[in-house]
Amino acid sequence: MNSNVDLFSARVPRYTSYPTAPHFHAGIGQNELKQWLAGLPTGLPLSLYVHIPFCDTLCWFCGCHTTVVNRYSPVSSYLNDLFTEIANIGPYLKGHPVTHLHWGGGSPTMLTPDDVRNLKGALTRHFEFAPDAEFAVEIDPRGLKDDLIATLGECGLTRASIGVQDFAPQVQKAINRIQPFDETKRVVDALRAAGVASLNIDLIYGLPYQTRENVARTIELSLSLKPQRFAVFGYAHVPHFKKHMQLIKTETLPDAAERFAQFELAHSLISAAGYAAIGLDHFALPDDSLAVAAKAGTLARNFQGYTSDDAPALIGLGASSISALPQGYVQNKPEVPEWRKAIEVGELPVARGIALSDEDKLRRAIIEKLMCFLEVDLARFGKTPEDFPREMEALAPLMAEGFVVRNGTVLSVPASARAAVRLVASVFDTYLATSKAVHAVAV
Ligand SMILES: C[S@@+](CC[C@H](N)C(=O)[O-])C[C@H]1O[C@@H](n2cnc3c(N)ncnc32)[C@H](O)[C@@H]1O
Ligand code: SF4
């Protein structure tokens, strides 16, 4: 296991996109986005992501794009601009059914019930929702009020993605996130009573003071809530990039061997409870749409992680959000004041992006297949491993460790080595060598 730990300590991207966000550049702006939107074939399904970059307290482990506010006025003025952004982009997307809507953050549960209705109403007016569209929202259960839960139910919420991380008091104290189990259970019960059929629980391993015992107890408690899905992320500690992470002392973090053991333990406990393992870090009950998509070969990966949403275009709304289109990616201006300024003069608030070459599209498809299915058949793209001599050379040490196996034109990561899938995928990333970005460790 020691040599494995060395390999697992390599820093590689999470591949929620390819090329990854550090390679987006200012040469792509609103004009390119407008051309790309105009080039979408009529009727092409869309997925919408809405970013709410506010929280009422800061969790010290948080890697999301968010700001802590202690008044509601910044949130309401953000929403006013978001309504304008929605009205500005809506006309470019006529004739495209929206099949998925996801609100993330930050904490969308910062919104008042009236603003939840207003935001859902604005989206419904300016976009054409498919009758069976999914509607998912990221939920911070702490202090969540019953009237907000009822409103989310009335607005047609189909899936609640609930942040848990770890239930151990010592870990919660060290990440500045006190969240008792009873409070989480109250929210879970209320969401179900409000008609929300599908629940996802987010957990993290590798947190300060976390042990395998904590992980096992957190999973036991979480299983008692009977979620349809789990996401189990490795804590990405990047204190040079997210300064508040300096509040977490490096010496309180589990080392690489312990992280790996926690990952394996989480995996075996959740799988033993009847959940199918999906890709690197998701789990779903066998009848859940994520598990069904994984079985059918239609599973996809986007900025929210794994999804059964195979809409070919994802439109991001709100500061810092990213849109993924068949032609390339664009990211909105990350800081609210710049994002607002662009919207107020009627622009689409794009900061940067990247147009995909044919080579990028091929590598994006290979990396997505590996991340989703732990396997890629290069013949699907009219290629063989011999067409990738540099990559095959880089894969040799990973093959020697049993992290990847070649069978004809098929490269696969054995299920027992799924922790290595980002490393295997990274071999096909031609941008990585030139990247100045510092990524979190692979496991
Ligand atoms: C936008 S956040 C959470 C939504 C909501 N604000 C909450 O805290 O419950 C989505 C998820 O990202 C994960 N996450 C955030 N920062 C992370 C980090 N540094 N490393 C790994 N996972 C992280 C957490 O599991 C979190 O629940
Ligand atoms: S984890 Fe959630 S609640 Fe905590 S700071 Fe990040 S986005 Fe906000």
The Cα-based distances of 177 to 78, 83, 160, 296 in angstroms read 25, 31, 19, 38
- Is any atom of ligand 1 closer than 6 Å to the C-beta of 205? no
**Topology at the third CATH level for domain 1-10+358-434:** Arc Repressor Mutant, subunit A (1.10.10)
- Is any atom of ligand 1 closer than 6 Å to the C-beta of 62? yes
Q: Which long-range contacts (CB under 8 A, 24 or more apart) does 387-396 make?
A: 388/428, 391/427, 391/428, 394/427, 395/424, 395/427
Evaluate whether 49 touches 303 at the Cβ level (below 8 Å). Answer: yes
- Is any atom of ligand 2 closer than 6 Å to the C-beta of 105? yes
Tokens of 425: 């995928």
- Gap between the Cα atoms of 404 and 422, Å rounded: 11
* 1 CA → ligand 1 middle, Å: 29
Ligand 1 atom with least separation from CA of 138? 4
Can you give the pLDDT of all 443 residues of the chain as single tens digits? 444 555 556 678 999 999 999 999 999 999 999 999 999 999 999 999 999 999 999 999 999 999 999 999 999 999 999 999 999 999 999 999 999 999 999 999 999 999 999 999 999 999 999 999 999 999 999 999 999 999 999 999 999 999 999 999 999 999 999 999 999 999 999 999 999 999 999 999 999 999 999 999 999 999 999 999 999 999 999 999 999 999 999 999 999 999 999 999 999 999 999 999 999 999 999 999 999 999 999 999 998 889 988 889 999 999 999 999 999 999 999 999 999 999 999 999 999 999 999 999 999 999 999 999 999 999 999 999 999 999 999 999 999 999 999 999 999 999 999 999 999 999 999 998 776 565 566 56
Location of each CATH 1.10.10.920 domain in the chain: 1-10+358-434
What is the pLDDT at residue 309? 84
- Is any atom of ligand 1 closer than 6 Å to the C-beta of 303? no
Neighbouring residues of 361: CB distance < 8 A, sequence distance ≥ 6: none
Tokens of 199: 């629940």
What is the pLDDT at residue 435? 65
For residue 367, the one-letter residue type is I
Neighbouring residues of 366: CB distance < 8 A, sequence distance ≥ 6: 376, 378, 381, 425, 428
* 336 CA → ligand 1 middle, Å: 20
* 58 CA → ligand 1 middle, Å: 11
- Is any atom of ligand 1 closer than 6 Å to the C-beta of 138? yes
In angstroms, how far apart are the furthest CA atoms of the chain?
60
Q: Which of 58, 65, 69 to mutate to test the pocket of ligand 2 (most atoms within 8 A of CB)?
A: 58
Ligand 1 atom with least separation from CA of 245? 19
- Is any atom of ligand 2 closer than 6 Å to the C-beta of 138? no
The bound ligand whose nearest atom lies closest to the alpha carbon of 232 is: 1
What is the pLDDT at residue 11? 78
Evaluate whether 222 touches 181 at the Cβ level (below 8 Å). Answer: no
Residue whose entry in the numeric block shows the structure tokens 């957990």:
203
- The CATH homologous superfamily for domain 20-317 is tm_1862 like domain (3.80.30.20)
* HEC secondary structure over the chain: CHHHHHHHCCECCCCCCCCCHHHCECCCCHHHHHHHHHCCCCCCCEEEEEEECEECCCCCCCCCCCEECCCCHHHHHHHHHHHHHHHHHHHHHCCCEEEEEEEEECCHHHCCHHHHHHHHHHHHHHCEEEEEEEEEEEECCCCCCHHHHHHHHHCCCCEEEEEEECCCHHHHHHCCCCCCHHHHHHHHHHHHHCCCCEEEEEEEECCCCCCHHHHHHHHHHHHCCCCCEEEEEECCCCCCCCHHHHHCCHHHCCCHHHHHHHHHHHHHHHHHCCCEEECCCEEECCCCHHHHHHHHCCCEEECCEEECCCCCEEEEECCCCEEEECCEEEEECCCHHHHHHHHHCCCCCEEEEEECCHHHHHHHHHHHHHHHHCEEEHHHHCCCHHHCHHHHHHHHHHHHCCCCEEECCEEECCHHHHHHHHHHHHCCCCCHHHCCCCCCECC
Please give the torsion angle defined by the CA atoms of residues 226, 101, 104 and 262, in that order, rounded to the nearest 10 degrees.
40
Location of each CATH 3.80.30.20 domain in the chain: 20-317
- Is any atom of ligand 1 closer than 6 Å to the C-beta of 107? yes
- Is any atom of ligand 1 closer than 6 Å to the C-beta of 281? no
Nearest residue to 195 (alpha-carbon basis) of 149, 132, 161? 149
- Gap between the Cα atoms of 272 and 224, Å rounded: 14
Nearest residue to 225 (alpha-carbon basis) of 273, 292, 154, 173? 273
Tokens of 125: 């007016």
